[in-house]
Amino acid sequence: MRALSSGLFLLVLLLLFSNLGSYGLLEDNEARFFDMSWEMLETGDWITPHLNFINHFHKPPLTFWLVGSSLKVFGASEWAGRLPIALVSLCLLGFVSQWGDRKPGHGSLWATLILITSIEYWFLSRLVLTDMVLALTVGSALYGFWRLRESSSRLWSLLFWLSLGLSFLTKGPVGLAIVGLTLLCYRLLGGNAAWRFLLRPEGPVLAALVACPWYIIESIRFKGLISYLLHFQTVDRVVTEVHGRGGPIWFYIPVILAGFFPWSPALWVAFRDGFKRREDKDLFLLAWILGPLLLFSLSGSKLPTYLLPLYPAFAMLLARSLDSPRSARSVAISCSVGLFVFSLALIMFLNLGLPPEIAPNLTTLIWVSVASGSGTVLSLYLCWTSRSKAAIASVGLSFATVLLLLGTGIGKSDAAYSARRLAEVLREQEAESIVVEFKDHLHGLPYYLKQRIVQISYPREIQFEQSRDYRRFLYDSPEEFLASLKPNQQVLVITRDSDLKLAETLFHSSEHIRVGNWEILKVRATDV
């Protein structure tokens, strides 16, 4: 048991922390949140978030505080920015390992292996995003609630409320909604729990003391901020499609199939067994999945990352099925077949030719196909010889190898997904050039260039910006910007491929450099 635990722990550390800084900040969300954290250091303002040095309140600041603190301690780098998220992921895996079934089948170890090798969980544990922080706060709150069934200690009650307070500082009311719907669904399914702790006054007081000060301070400074955060950024995301992220009610079915791979082909076993056993833990895990999943499916705003807080429940529910030899065999066969389909699809993809964006990763993808193919052969053989758990371990270890290979090779596509290579090319140009973005904003550029970027024809929310200094960096049209230039001033205009023709017309220049998915248009003031 100890050897298995140690081996799994080493595998987790390898998956979470290897090559964290080998690839540039991915546009746009990761780069945006990293830049907002870095700007806290640059401005010295740890209260009000900024994006390109303009007030930006899309998310509360907890994630930015964590990342910014790491940048301050270790220096500004991709590795330092991603480190807190990887540590948060490690903490969540720790809760799962403590929560899992401690039986001869080592349910807690299986749940940990399943979770860390699910592709979306692994990927989001290595990016500067708010989703992993939210997943931890939700998971720790539900862990505290569950432990209260075993112990009346106020410690677990305080953990529950502290986690809720921190979730409010991460993504507003979303964490509260996930936890609340889980508990409601658990009650409707007939779950057995002591609910009186919710009435203890110290719990809500603790949550309020954690969550409210930042909201109070900023609402005093910025009129209308509370309505903006709670209504426009939260309620409107659920009940409208104002943010342009709508989708059909079945949107999350393919997300689960892809995001929880290689284990998603076996989820039917987990749900079948959970509803069949109907033990209290099964009901709780099912509630953790079904309640929030219904909310996200009906929401007017849908993104694949929204489901991340549900993945621990998927992993633990599936791990519980492994206690049954018959179910373990079904899981092994389902995942082995899934890995076979993945390997076959990858080989066909390689034969069809790679898109330019990922062509540099050809060698990596070949090794990925070798790793998945080898894992497929081994796992199918173990299924045939009735060694189900060995087959499941083979699936997990082979896909862990796949993930490690992907983590090593992702940096080769920097130019397509990150502003890092673009910034290198910009630094090679005339030193006094003004860098301008047309109809777009690459969120990583302010960090990589260590300067404020001029934006043209790019809508920004400036209602909370009290300083008028932003007018020197935010223009409604190219004409307005060009009129402000000094004679013979060189300008480097960054634009998407799709907007290049328009940019050439408006800026009166056709000299450009292509970098990945972006174009650098050279403009001199005397030419316009």
The length of the chain is: 528
* Alpha carbon distance 36, 392 (integer Å): 41
Angle at 381 between CA 378 and CA 382, to 5 degrees: 85
DSSP state of 512: E
> What number is the average pLDDT over the span 148-157?
80
Reported as a single tens digit per residue, the pLDDT across 313-339 is 999 999 999 989 999 999 999 999 999
pLDDT of 196: 73
Per the prediction, the chain carries an average pLDDT of 88
Helix (H, G, I), strand (E, B) or coil at 110: helix
pLDDT of 479: 87
Would you say 520 and 494 are in contact if contact means Cβ atoms under 8 Å apart? yes
DSSP state of 471: G
| Bridging pattern class, strands 434-438 and 54-55 | unpaired
Would you say 101 and 320 are in contact if contact means Cβ atoms under 8 Å apart? yes
* Alpha carbon distance 331, 328 (integer Å): 5
* Alpha carbon distance 519, 509 (integer Å): 12
The domain limits of the chain are 418-527
* Whole-number percent of the chain with pLDDT over 90: 55
Highest mean pLDDT among 95-104, 325-334, 477-486: 325-334
Which helix (DSSP H) or strand (DSSP E) does residue 445 occupy?
Answer: helix 445-449
* Alpha carbon distance 165, 181 (integer Å): 17
| Bridging pattern class, strands 54-55 and 50-51 | antiparallel
3-state helix, strand, coil in the chain (%, to 5): 65, 5, 25
pLDDT of 219 higher than 80: yes
For 443, phi and psi rounded to 5 degrees?
Answer: -70, -20
Q: How far is CA 302 from CA 247, 257, 291, 415, in A?
A: 6, 16, 16, 27
Q: How far is CA 424 from CA 109, 158, 414, 421, in A?
A: 44, 49, 11, 5
* Alpha carbon distance 402, 266 (integer Å): 19
Whether cis (ω within 30° of 0) applies to the bond prior to 262 is yes
> What number is the average pLDDT over the span 100-114?
73
Tokens of 423: 């910034």
Residue 522, C-beta contacts closer than 8 angstroms, at least 6 positions apart: 429, 490, 491, 492, 493, 509, 511, 512, 513
Q: Whose structure tokens read 């075993």?
A: 150
pLDDT of 442 higher than 60: yes
Q: How far is CA 246 from CA 58, 111, 227, 230, 499, in A?
A: 18, 32, 22, 19, 25
pLDDT of 104 higher than 60: no
pLDDT of 141 higher than 90: yes
Ramachandran class of 33: left when φ > 0, alpha when ψ lies in -120 to 50, beta otherwise: alpha
Residue 371, C-beta contacts closer than 8 angstroms, at least 6 positions apart: 398, 401, 402, 405
pLDDT of 105: 47
